[in-house]
Amino acid sequence: MISSRIKLRPIPSSFRESSIQKLWLNEQTNDVKLNGSLEVLDFNHFTGPLPDFSRFTCLEELSLRSNKLTGNVPPLFNLPNITFVSLANNFFQGPFPKFNTSRVEVDMTPGSTNSFCLGDPGVACDSRISILLSIVESMGYPLVFAKRRNGNDPCDVSQPWRGIFCNEVGNITVVNFKDLELQGTISSAFSVLTSIENLILSNNALNGTIPNELTFLPNLKMLDVSNNYLSGEVLKFRQTVIVKSDGNPNIVRNIVTQEQPQTTIAAKVREEEQDSNTGIVLASVMIGAAFGLFIVGLGFCLYKKKQKRFPRIHRQKTVSKKSQDAMTSDIQLLGVGNFGGNDQQFQRAKHSGKSSELFTERNFKTGQG
């Protein structure tokens, strides 16, 4: 890093052959700031994307020819003093930049080693290309994705994207970025590719957390992020999604994950259903009991009210015809003997065995004595 207190004008040409890997020239606070051309940046091995040049209002010439720069070209055409731009022989991606050629000389012909999706300046790329570029942006636009001239169709078998596989209608179903030495973070832009079934990012050097947006992928069947440097929690995906996260020393696994046996989940569901059914039965019994008590109480009240209005009438005891005949026979026997009968009639009555006749005999003897 060059100190802001050192007064420098142009970058020394001797830097061309130096072994400097990082050069920080930001926040120069001196009255005399860095100026001049940037020709020293030509013919090196710079990689990664270009920074934002929107505040380089004094920049006149920018020559980045013959490096290994990748990613989208930032908007340079709005710089008020720019007169020359050389971006040839790199690996830039995205749409071909458009300049005002009436005032800016451009050294960058279509097809000159770069990996622009189209050769027409200012024309947007296919939406799938734009999404893929957003995904690799969080990884620093790795060179491995830019070395091929990919064109404007990521599913074109003649010039496919690295690790991209599509179905017959051109939807991306598999993203396999395994063993590509990728760094950076996992982009949430993966969630825009709703047709993805398998997302494989294993055996890289990715850090950060697993984006929550990935849990909403409707067709996802497997997520493999094993053997990276991820941290945070393993998110809860649908039960049908296989999540592989081994080999991440800083990752935290939830108690309930999608790798949990289905029997445990099913048992929990059954237990919840049983608890729910038990509650329904108890509630029904309580309601039924309360209703029964209400009916009994209502009936009792009506019964008492009826008794008050209509007092109970005691019915006279009735005598059966058989009893009446027996009593009549006894009365007739009373007339036998000393009361008007003879001894023969009394003896016949005595030996008949009827209770009424025996009763009459006792009465007869009592009356006779």
Provide DSSP, 141-190: --GGGTSS--TT-TT-TTSPPTTEEE-TTS-EEEEE-TTS---SB--GGG
C-alpha closest to that of 194 among 149, 127, 144: 127
Residues making up the chain, counted from first to last? 369
pLDDT digits (tens, 9 = 90+) for 36-85: 545 556 657 788 899 888 888 898 998 888 889 999 998 877 788 999 99
Q: Is 248 exposed, middle or buried (0-12, 13-18, 19+ CB in 10 A)?
A: buried
User: Cα-flanking dihedrals φ and ψ of residue 102, to 5°?
Assistant: -70, -20
Position 102 pLDDT exceeds 70: yes
CATH number given to 163-272: 3.80.10.10
Q: Give the mean model confidence (pLDDT) for residues 263-273.
A: 52
pTM (2 d.p.): 0.60
Domain ranges across the chain: 163-272, 336-369
- In angstroms, the CA 93 to CA 71 distance is 5
Three-state SS for 274? helix
- Say whether pLDDT at 297 is over 80: no
Q: Quote the crossing angle between the two packed helices 355-368 and 343-350, to the nearest 10°.
A: 140
8 A C-beta contact, residue 76 and residue 51:
no
- In tens, the pLDDT along 217-248 reads 999 999 999 999 999 999 999 999 999 999 99
For residue 337, pLDDT over 70 is answered with no
Exposure class string for 74-111: b at 16+ Cβ within 10 A, else e: eebbebeebeebbbbbbbbbbbbbebeeeeeebebeee
What does the buried/exposed string (b/e) look like for 317-348 if buried means 16 or more CB atoms within 10 Å of the residue's CB? Answer: eeeeeeeeebeeebeebeebbeeebeeeebee
Amino acid 264: pLDDT? 46
250 class by beta-carbon count within 10 Å (0-12 exposed, 13-18 middle, 19+ buried): exposed
Q: In which band, very low, low, confident or very high, does the pLDDT at 340 lie, cut at 50, 70 and 90?
A: very low
Structure tokens at 31: 């009255």
CB neighbourhood size of 231 (10 A): 14
pLDDT at 279 over 50: yes
- The closest of 83, 157, 160 to 115, measured between CA atoms, is 160
Q: What 3-state DSSP class applies to 343?
A: helix
pLDDT at 262 over 50: no
pLDDT band for position 3 (cuts 50, 70, 90): very low
Q: How many DSSP H helices and E strands does the chain contain?
A: 5, 14
pLDDT digits (tens, 9 = 90+) for 121-161: 889 999 999 999 999 999 999 999 998 766 899 999 888 89
Is pLDDT above 60 for 338? Answer: no
| CB 199, CB 219: distance < 8 Å | no
- pLDDT by residue (tens digit) across 182-195? 999 999 999 999 99
Judged by DSSP in three states, 139 sits in coil
Contacts of 65 (CB under 8 A, 6+ apart): 42, 43, 86, 87, 88, 89, 90, 107
Distance CA 3, CA 29 (A): 9
User: pLDDT at residue 199 above 60?
Assistant: yes
Spatial contact of 158 and 134, defined as CB atoms under 8 Å apart: no
Q: Give the Cβ contact number of residue 184 at 10 Å.
A: 17
Rg (CA), the chain: 54
